Amino acid sequence: MTYRFGFYGITNTHSLYDIYTTEYGGTAVALTPAVDTTLFNPSGRTAGTTRKRVFYYARPGTPRNGFELAVAALRRLKDRYGDGVDIVAAGADWKPEEYGLQNVIRVLGTLPYEDTPSLYRSCHVGFVMMMTKHPSYLPFELMACGCLVVSNFNPANTWFLKNGKNCLLAPPTTTALYETLARALDRYEELTAVRRAGTDEVLTRYGDWEASLMRVARFMHAPHLARPSSHEAHQHEPVQQIR
């Protein structure tokens, strides 16, 4: 396996850093995700007060995004709320009718990067699935724009996604995901503190790409000075239980 070749590593988030350095003895630096806060911010949110809008990051051809589980939960959500919920998807070009999702999900396809913040600001809930050991960057961007994020529980990603604190997490089953999405809609106003905590955390801790990339640049200039047992990234949070 290439992880044992002894290459210096630049890992996409802290979870992969831990795997490379602890399990394979490699030397690496973790790239800490960040967002461009000039684009991704909650200013001028347009989410309505009557009909709820759910954004879904949908990529049918990418197994790590758990498409089959997610759409099964969203189908139940649409059955429950009908016209009271507008489910919009982006991230890939696909046709809802090919998956029996006509009149369930509106697919916007692949959007230009600059167009995504205004979409996020029009949504109440942002739904993102990630089954591998690093978080999608979408939750960072959605939180920065003021969305209440719902995702699947993944122990590798609890250093950032904290259930009941900055987002809502559910076990990766259809019923659990559906019930958590329904809770996000039914209790949206009650969960304002969770939503705001996510926004505040991203804007204050993950809003500086320059600092994140400078840490990588320092490592690239002197990787031999790095120690596998320590790094500059923040410590992981304890794994949280889902209740």
What is the DSSP code string of 164-193?
TTTBEEE-SSHHHHHHHHHHHHHTTTTTHH
- Are 15 and 62 within one domain? no
Q: Is the pLDDT of residue 85 over 50?
A: yes
Residue 88 resides in a domain: yes
CA 106 to chain CA mean position, Å? 20
Residue 19 resides in a domain: yes
- Are 20 and 61 within one domain? no
Residue 238 resides in a domain: no
Domain hosting 11: range is 2-34+208-225
Q: Is the pLDDT of residue 214 over 90?
A: yes
Structurally, how many domains does the chain consist of? Answer: 2
CA distance 213 to 221: 12
Q: Is the C-alpha dihedral spanning 180, 181, 183, 189 positive or negative?
A: positive
Average of per-residue pLDDT across 176-192? 98
Question: For the whole model, what pTM was predicted?
Answer: 0.91
Q: pLDDT at position 2, please?
A: 87
Average of per-residue pLDDT across 104-126? 97
Residue 196 resides in a domain: yes
- Are 152 and 197 within one domain? yes
Residue 239 resides in a domain: no
CA distance 28 to 100: 45
Q: Is the pLDDT of residue 195 over 60?
A: yes
50 or 150, greater pLDDT = 150
Average of per-residue pLDDT across 144-173? 97
Contacts of 110 (CB under 8 A, 6+ apart): 90, 91, 92, 93
Residue 45 resides in a domain: no
- Are 166 and 57 within one domain? yes
Residue 122 resides in a domain: yes
Average of per-residue pLDDT across 124-133? 96
Q: Is the pLDDT of residue 28 over 80?
A: yes
Q: pLDDT at position 227, please?
A: 60
CATH number assigned to the domain comprising residue 120? 3.40.50.2000
Q: Is the pLDDT of residue 235 over 80?
A: no
Q: pLDDT at position 17, please?
A: 93
Residue 130 resides in a domain: yes
Q: Is the pLDDT of residue 243 over 60?
A: no
- Are 107 and 142 within one domain? yes
- Are 121 and 185 within one domain? yes
- Are 59 and 159 within one domain? yes
Taking all residues of the chain, what is their mean pLDDT, rounded to a whole number? 92
**Confidence band for 236, pLDDT divided at 50, 70 and 90:** very low
- Are 11 and 57 within one domain? no
- Are 68 and 168 within one domain? yes
Average of per-residue pLDDT across 61-71? 96
Q: pLDDT at position 154, please?
A: 96
Looking only at the bridges linking them, the beta strands covering 52-57 and 85-90 are parallel
- Are 178 and 79 within one domain? yes
- Are 65 and 184 within one domain? yes
- Are 181 and 84 within one domain? yes
Q: pLDDT at position 19, please?
A: 92
Percent of the chain with pLDDT over 90: 86
